[in-house]
Structure 1
Amino acid sequence: MEGTMMNNGMNILERQMANDEDICCSCGNINSFPKAFFDNFHVADVGIIVCTSGRFSFRCEDVEYVVNRGETAFLSHGVYFSVTGHSADCSVVIILYRVDSIRNILGSTVVGMRFMNILNPKACWVMHTGHEAELTKYSELLAVGNSDDNVFAFNERRLLLLSLTYRLCSIFREISKEGDNASSRKLETYMQLMQLIDRHYTSERGVRFYADRLCLSPKYLTSLVKSVSGNSVQQLVFKAITKKAISLITTTDQSIKQIADQLNFPNASAFGTFFKKQVGMSPVNYRQKEKQ
């Protein structure tokens, strides 16, 4: 029964995308992605992908991202992305929509004038919002009653979309704690941390190093990062290591020992233990699976 519902959700989404509709969404959870997502898909305005189980990876603006269970990927206006892989148990919720479909409803409100900036702090954003179940419900509601000859259903969907837009703005505003004229200090600190991790993740894996670089206490940085992403600092470092490890395993012929050395593990065994804990299988088995 559940499998049938997932197939129906995929069929609905594929049909909407083929018709180039203003609102394209899965009817709740689906266990795969539209074929177009694997080949440099263009996001017209707003793209939301909630990972409800397993994990998936994608490339956006030449950056590789991994989205785990309970996290949401937000894709901004005009970006191109490609899904590069997903676990066997992966299921997702997808919502794509164009702003023009509700532009006249938004009008000249503050959100109407600024919501794209609030909604899209950068080209792509992956985070735990705490609102994943709510976003899933929106996808279910938006996927039903899609009939051009039913004016009531049509207007109901537009109002649902307006509600979703306000909800997304609220999510980003809640995370950023944005003041009237202040930029997101919390979000800026988080982005500075991610830049530091990108530079030092192979050699520095403890929270104190990054806290010292940001002139913050380890306790405060841990709390800040948890509130923004749902992860600890060490988990973010581990994600960066895992992402690089997967890239080296799948795109190079380096031995597991060479990869372990490059990522500064004491030996191949320690790297194998780490990788299996993060991904669920050994580096060797992962490489074999990807080749198949």
Structure 2
Amino acid sequence: MEKELSLFHQSSTAVLDELDSFKFRFSVHEMQDLHEAVMLNSPIRSEFFYIFVVKAGEIYFKLNRKEYHATAGELCVIPPSALIEVSAILPKSEAIGIAFCPDFFLSLGLHYSHPQILEIFAPEPSPIIAVGADELTTLDWLLKRLKQINYPKSDHLFQEEVLTNTFSQFIYELTQAYHRNKVGTQIKLRRKENLVLLFFKEVSKYYKKERGVQFYANLLFITRKYLSKTVKQVTGKTPGFFIDEAVIKEAKMLLADPKLSISEIAQSLNFADQSTFGKFFKKQVGLAPTSFRI
């Protein structure tokens, strides 16, 4: 039987080590018999995002010492640093889930184009979301597809593209299910998470013109020091990291268009000249823009 990755059966260090064996820093696993896959009454603090869908049966668990009950047709979103402990599982329970590193999620840049995606990872009165039958079928299929080709030895010609696009689609469908089933419920963000969400929204609007952290701090009416401290606490990264990341993603997309000269790209991203843009790009990517295009 193929070895499965279980949040509940391994320490966070072991999970991260195992994630390294996959093509990307995420792993999908199915648990046909939860009694074999889950260690009861053994609290674990995760270092990664974990989302699982209960397909059959019921699971009783504690998240940050607060008790929850998930049944068939419900999914649970567990953020990094959460303390989780499974206390009971009904017979014949089944689940499918995905564990992924924050760095991998952030590298896709989904939070720039659609900042509301971050709301599904914010603290809620309950981490459990009920989903409809069609939504469950879609999420289950996407997770199984990700599991199917997320291995270094896969011979798929477009493995990287399929994986990143399928993962993005999973996040989109998850967010859609979240908002559809949270209708009428006010999303309660803590001040820090709300500030980071606002920061991402501003970056998505102004990154082509403004790369300074102070600019975004001014927009949010806070000090640069407080913005830097808050973003670092919530995401583990600095504001400058996210600003540069947004610029690089746009630069790569523009460089893929052969009709655009590097000078035109530099100008569109508000760099003083082509040389300044080239130095910035090489520092971030490790290649000069001209080499990246080859």
TM-score normalized by structure 1? 0.50
The offset of 1:58, in angstroms, is 0.7
Among candidates 44, 48, 53, match of residue 50 of structure 1: 53
- Residue of structure 1 equivalent to 2:163: 157
Equivalent residues in 2 for 1:41-120, closer than 5 Å: 41-106=44-109, 109-111=112-114, 113-120=115-122
Look up the SS of the partner of 1:144 in the other structure: helix
Could you list the per-position Cα deviations for residues 143-165 of structure 1 after superposition, in whole angstroms to 9, with x for gaps in the alignment?
Answer: 11222255732332222111111
Structure 1 pair 91–37 and aligned structure 2 pair: CA distance change class (3 A): same
Alignment RMSD: 3.1
Look up the SS of the partner of 1:19 in the other structure: helix
Number of aligned residues: 172
Among candidates 26, 30, 33, match of residue 31 of structure 1: 33
Among candidates 35, 40, 43, match of residue 43 of structure 2: 40
CA distance in 1, matches of 2:40, 2:103: 22
Among candidates 124, 127, 130, match of residue 125 of structure 1: 127
Structure 1 pair 153–88 and aligned structure 2 pair: CA distance change class (3 A): same
Look up the SS of the partner of 2:80 in the other structure: coil
CA distance in 1, matches of 2:85, 2:51: 14
The offset of 1:23, in angstroms, is 0.9
Among candidates 13, 27, 32, match of residue 5 of structure 2: 13
1:48 and 1:96 in contact (8 A); partners too: yes
CA distance in 1, matches of 2:46, 2:118: 13
- Post-superposition, which runs of at least 4 consecutive aligned residues in structure 1 deviate over 6 A? none
Task: Note if 1:139 corresponds to 2:131.
Answer: no
- Residue of structure 1 equivalent to 2:191: none
Could you list the per-position Cα deviations for residues 78-109 of structure 1 after superposition, in whole angstroms to 9, with x for gaps in the alignment?
Answer: 21201111012111111121232243332673
Structure 1 pair 135–61 and aligned structure 2 pair: CA distance change class (3 A): same
CA distance in 2, matches of 1:107, 1:143: 21
Identity of aligned residues (%): 12
Structure 1 pair 137–38 and aligned structure 2 pair: CA distance change class (3 A): farther
CA distance in 1, matches of 2:111, 2:29: 30
What letter matches 1:19 in structure 2? E
- Residue of structure 2 equivalent to 1:4: none
Task: Note if 1:148 corresponds to 2:165.
Answer: no
Structure 1 pair 128–121 and aligned structure 2 pair: CA distance change class (3 A): same
Gaps of 5+ in 1: 1-6, 178-185, 191-292
2:62 and 2:85 in contact (8 A); partners too: yes
CA distance in 1, matches of 2:80, 2:142: 20
Structure 1 pair 138–45 and aligned structure 2 pair: CA distance change class (3 A): same
Look up the SS of the partner of 1:26 in the other structure: strand
TM-score normalized by structure 2? 0.50
Structure 1 pair 189–137 and aligned structure 2 pair: CA distance change class (3 A): closer
CA distance in 1, matches of 2:28, 2:41: 17
Could you list the per-position Cα deviations for residues 31-66 of structure 1 after superposition, in whole angstroms to 9, with x for gaps in the alignment?
Answer: 216456753233334322211111111111111111
The offset of 1:137, in angstroms, is 1.4
Look up the SS of the partner of 1:143 in the other structure: helix
Structure 1 pair 188–20 and aligned structure 2 pair: CA distance change class (3 A): same
Worse-matched range after superposition: 146-155 or 46-55: 146-155
CA distance in 1, matches of 2:92, 2:41: 18
CA distance in 1, matches of 2:76, 2:90: 16
2:26 and 2:99 in contact (8 A); partners too: yes
CA distance in 2, matches of 1:90, 1:72: 14
Gaps of 5+ in 2: 189-294
What letter matches 1:163 in structure 2? Q
CA distance in 2, matches of 1:75, 1:165: 14
CA distance in 1, matches of 2:41, 2:70: 15
